Amino acid sequence: MSAGDQGGSFLGGGGVSPWAAAARQGQDGGLAFEIHGHELQFLEAELRPGEAMIAEAGQMMFKDASVSMETIFGDGTEPPETGFFGKLLGGAKRFLSGATLFMTRFTNMSGGPARVAFSAPYPGKILPLRLDRYGGEIVCQRETFLAAPQGVKIDIAFQKKIMTGLFGGEGFIMQRLTGQDWVFVHAGGMVIERELAPGQELHVDAGCLVAQTRTVSFDVVPVGGIKSMIFGGEGFFFARLVGPGHVWLQSMPISRLAGQILARAPAHFEGRAGASWESSGDSGSSAGSADDSTVTWGDSGSDGNDA
C-alpha cells in the first residue's frame, strides 16, 4: 500500500499536507512516504524488506516492531573497511555542522513492508527534496536535516569568504547533503521556494535561509546606512543569494521564535530543576522541589486538592 495508490494518508486519515503532491512522487521506485499534518508535521515512510533510513538522534515518532534501530557513527555511507576512528571523524564533522555526533539507522528486518515515522522538532514544514533533481547536492543550514534513506551522505560545507562566515548569521559551517534519493529537511513556519535565474540576486535575512542548490552563490551585503543598521531591526548584513539555482526560505526561524519567547518570559521564571514557579497575579503559590517529581499548582480560589 502506498500514499499514491490510496490518494491519502498511510494512516487512513483525511488530512493531506500541502506537500502531499511532492510526497506521492516518491512512489516512482524510490522511498514510499507521506507527510502528515500542517504546522506540526511528521514524516511516515514505508520501508521495503532490507531498506533502511537514517535520522537525527531523538527524531523518531513510532516504528513497526520489525524495524530495527541502531545507533551509528556518521551517516552509514562509510566503506566497510572504515575503522572506528574513521567513523568517529565522520561523526565529529557532522557534529561541527550542527548535527548530533551519532545518528540512528532504522532497517526493515521483515519479509514485508514496515513503517517508521519521524516528527518535526518545532512548528513548521517538512520539505521532501529529491537530490537527483538538483544536481545530486543540496547545501542547507545547520540543524535542518531530519531524515533520509541510507546512502545519502551528510557532510560539512564551509563558507569560503571570511565576511560571509563572520556576518552571514550561520557561521562558517553548513550541511552538505549528497546522493540521488530523497532527503527531508525541516523549516520553521511557512516555506517558499524561489528559482533564481543566472545573475538574479535576492537579499534575505540569513536566518530565513533553509537550503540552496550548489550553483547558488551565498554572500553578505550591508543592509543600508548607519540608521538602518542601528534601528532597522535586521542587523548589519543581509544574505545575498545569486543565481542560477533554487533556494528555500522559512518564515519563522527557530532562533527568531526562541528570541520572542525569551523576550516575553517573566523575569522571575527560573527554568531549572528544583526552581520555584510563582504567578505574579495569584495570592497563592506553587513550588517544585528537586526531590519531588510532581508540581502542585495553587491559587486563591483552590480547594486544596491536587489538580
CA 212, 218, 224, 225 torsion: positive or negative? positive
- Are the CB atoms for 236 and 157 separated by under 8 Å? no
| Assigned C-alpha cell, 160 | 569560503
Q: Which domain holds residue 234?
A: 11-260
Q: Which residues pair with 105 in a beta bridge?
A: 54, 70
Please give the Cα distance from 257 to 101 (Å, whole number): 25
Question: Is residue 272 assigned to a domain?
Answer: no
* pLDDT at residue 273 in the model: 47
The answer to whether 142 and 175 are in contact (CB under 8 A) is yes
Segment 120-139 shows an average pLDDT of 93
Q: Say if 267 falls within a structural domain.
A: no
DSSP code for 286: B
Tell whether 280 is covered by a domain: no
pLDDT of residue 88: 64
Residue 176 included in any domain: yes
Query: What is the arithmetic mean of pLDDT over 129-155?
Result: 92
37-46, 171-180, 201-210: which has the minimum mean pLDDT? 171-180
pLDDT in the model for residue 269: 54
Main-chain phi, psi angles of 182, to 5 degrees: -75, 145
**Most confident stretch, 37-46, 84-93, 267-276:** 37-46
- Asked if residue 156 is part of any domain, the answer here is yes
Percent of the chain with pLDDT over 90: 39
pTM flag (> 0.85): no
pLDDT at 26 over 90: no
3-state secondary structure at position 122: coil
The CATH number covering residue 255 comes to 3.60.160.10
Q: Does a structural domain hold residue 66?
A: yes
User: Which band of pLDDT confidence, cut at 50, 70 and 90, is reported for residue 45?
Assistant: very high
pLDDT of residue 14 exceeding 50, the answer is no
Note the pLDDT tens digit of each residue in 176-191: 999 999 999 999 999 9
For the chain, the average pLDDT equals 74
Arithmetic mean of pLDDT, 52-77: 89
Q: Which of 4-18, 52-66, 149-163, 200-214 has the lowest mean pLDDT?
A: 4-18
In a domain, 139, yes or no: yes
Asked if the structure places residue 144 within a domain, the reply is: yes
Domain count, the chain: 1
43 CB-contact burial (10 Å; exposed 0-12 / middle 13-18 / buried 19+): buried
Average pLDDT over residues 155-184: 71
Per-residue pLDDT tens digits for 192-219: 999 999 999 999 988 899 999 999 998 8
